Amino acid sequence: LRGEHLGYRVQDTTLLPSTRLRVQLMAAPLSLAEVEISDAPLISVARVGDRAGHMKLNDVSNSHLPGNNSNLIFNNLRMYPGITAAGESVSDYIIWGSYPGQNYITFDGITLFSSWGINQEFGRVNPALVKNVEVYKGGYQVPYGDRIGGVVMMEGREGNRQRQEADLQLTNQMASGYVNVPLFQQKASLQLAARSTFAQTWQPFSDLQNTQVGDVFTKSNYRDVNVKLSADLSPRDRLVFSFLGSGDFYAATFDRRRRDTNSDNSVQLVTSSQVGSSLRYTRTWGKGGLTQVLASQSRYLPTRTLSAFFLEGEMRADRFQTQWSNTIDEQRVSVTHTLPSRGGHQLSAEVGFIGQASKVDTETPGRVRERPDQFEGRVSGYLLDAIQIMPGWSLDLGLKADVVPRRDTVFLQPRLTTTYSLSDQWRFNAAWGYYNQFLALTPYTDAVGNQTEV
């Protein structure tokens, strides 16, 4: 007989047959190491409530979460109120009830038209390069956002200019690597990061799904790469270049063989690719002013192909195929200048140009449709005055203007935000403003009835 209990020694003995058995366990004291209690500064992993609808998360909170790190950004954000409530779709960030396509998501100034892979298991931003995540759920001022929904701005790491760094991670789905190299006598750093899924050992068995009407075989793949160069041209001049590219595909084959010689076969192939880059130059002036020049481009291309054919004996009786693609391109150039604070006022202004183009190609049986490129360019700018009325009370007055030359229209968007601190524990935030959106995401339905928002 073997008996054991928490806090007691294990008792292993031989007993003789008897009507009454009594086994006595001996206590097993457990010695604990010395515990030292000391005060430590509180590490703030999230800043919530400093402005209306605003929160900011640093890299500390992004590196200590359970689960698959491929979706680290989303896993972090959805824990906060107002972002993707329970029961809602996970195909896009849902912020304060916004619809797909209404949120503005950027990484180092690069617009992300899709923040997910096709199978929604992998985020398109590599967590290894993310330093801070700033979210505006609504009521944001003129420098932020280009949509009517929320804003998610991700800032990449600066890199270590003192020493080389490398990191390799392996999971049952993905391999990811990160390399940091100092350059130019510790005046710059180059960061490289890449991720790739790999075929599973039991893929031929796990991907095959038997159904009552046939067999379904699925296959998917995802890869991305990030490059970032940060350099100090002088004590007052700074240059940052960032590049990201990702691509994935999903294929599903359905094969149904009936008892006779007839059979049905269909193949669905979905692919997507997203490429973007940005170049940011920052100049700090001697009297405290700050000038920033930003140029960025982004391109997203999803495609979907559905093929089906039906066999009667050895003769192909019917074949059906439909194809669809939707390309979106964006180019941005802007110049921003911030004046030093004087008399409780801090003025900033920006002027820039935004060009967006889309193209939809569809092909169905007996019909090929190619819509010409749709391009819309506009001049965008804003003025912002951050006023410190009194200690604990601030007021921001902003005016944003978008000029569309082709339509000869000016869209004015006044905005107002205020913050009043009642005490260290209580703060009052309020915001009001007009918001315009010049790009929309609409669902596509093919001839078979399949609907997609890829």
**Is residue 265 included in any domain, yes or no?**
yes
**Is residue 72 included in any domain, yes or no?**
no
In the block, residue with structure tokens 């005060």? 39
In 137-236, the DSSP E strands lie at 151-156, 165-170, 174-183, 188-197, 208-210, 215-234
Give the pLDDT of residue 16.
78
**Is residue 111 included in any domain, yes or no?**
no
Shortest CA distance to 341 belongs to which of 292, 394, 283, 282?
Answer: 394
Residue 339: C-alpha distances to residues 227, 263, 287, 350, 383 (Å): 32, 72, 9, 12, 12
**Is residue 24 included in any domain, yes or no?**
no
* pTM of the shown model: 0.80
Q: Residue 87 carries which side chain, given as an amino acid letter?
A: G
**Is residue 229 included in any domain, yes or no?**
yes
Residue 369: C-alpha distances to residues 213, 335, 362 (Å): 34, 40, 5
Give the pLDDT of residue 56.
85
Please state the length of the chain.
Answer: 454
> In CATH, what number is assigned to the domain containing residue 287?
2.40.170.20
**Is residue 405 included in any domain, yes or no?**
yes
**Is residue 108 included in any domain, yes or no?**
no
Find out whether 419 and 388 touch, Cβ atoms under 8 Å.
no
**Is residue 258 included in any domain, yes or no?**
yes
* Other CB atoms within 10 Å distance of the CB of residue 162: 9
What whole-number distance in Å separates Cα of residue 69 and Cα of residue 170? Answer: 10
In 24-91, the DSSP E strands lie at 46-48, 54-57
Give the pLDDT of residue 206.
46
Give the pLDDT of residue 114.
84
Q: What residues make up the domain containing 374?
A: 166-452
Give the pLDDT of residue 316.
56
Find out whether 27 and 43 touch, Cβ atoms under 8 Å.
no
Q: What is the pLDDT along the chain (454 residues), one digit of tens a residue?
A: 777 787 888 888 887 777 677 778 888 887 888 888 877 666 555 667 678 888 888 765 545 555 455 666 777 777 778 887 555 555 567 788 788 788 899 999 999 988 777 666 778 888 888 888 889 988 899 998 888 988 999 999 988 999 999 988 887 788 889 999 999 988 999 999 999 988 654 454 444 445 455 667 778 888 999 999 999 999 999 999 999 999 988 888 876 655 555 566 777 888 899 999 999 999 999 888 999 999 999 999 988 888 776 666 565 556 677 888 888 999 999 999 999 988 889 999 999 999 999 888 877 765 656 666 788 899 999 999 999 999 989 999 999 999 998 888 899 999 999 999 988 888 899 999 999 998 888 776 665 566 666 5
DSSP one-letter code for 96: T
Q: How many domains does the chain have?
A: 1
Give the pLDDT of residue 294.
97
Give the pLDDT of residue 335.
97
